[in-house]
Structure 1
Amino acid sequence: MKALTESQGEVWQRAHRKPLAAAWSAINKHKYLYVLLLPGVLWYLIFRYLPMYGVIIAFKDYNFSKGIWGSPWVGLKHFEFLLHNRDFYQIVRNTLVINVYELIFAFPVPVILALLLNEMRSVLFKRSIQTVVYFPHFLSWVVFGGIIIQLLSPNEGLVNNLLRHLGLEPVFFMSKSEYFRPIVVFSSILKESGWGAIIYLAALSSIDPEQYEAATIDGANRWQKLAYITLPGIRNTVIIMLILKVGYLLDVGFEQIYILYNASVYDVGDVLSTYIYRIGLQSAQFSVTAAIGLFQSIIGFFLIWSTNRLARKFSEVSLW
Structure 2
Amino acid sequence: MSAPFASVLVIANPVSGTYLPVTAETVRRRFADAGHTVTLAVTEQPGHARKLAAEALAPGGPDIVVALGGDGTAHDVAAGLANTENSTPPQAARVPALLILPTGTGNSFYREIWADRPWREALELAVTETYFRAIDLARVAENGASALLGASTGVVAQSLITARDITDAGRERYEKAVAASLRAFTPYPGRVLVDGEVVQEGPTVFANVGGGRHRGGRFKLLPDSVMDDGLLDVCVVGTALPLHELPALSRDGGHVGREGVVYARGRSIVVERTDGHPLVFEYDGDVLETPGERFTLDVVPGALWVVAPSPKGWSGRPGAVPAHRGGPARVRSTRT
TM over 0.5: no
Where is the strand percentage greater, Structure 1 or Structure 2?
2
Larger Rg belongs to: 1
Where is the helix percentage greater, Structure 1 or Structure 2?
1
- TM-score by structure 1 length? 0.22
- TM-score by structure 2 length? 0.21
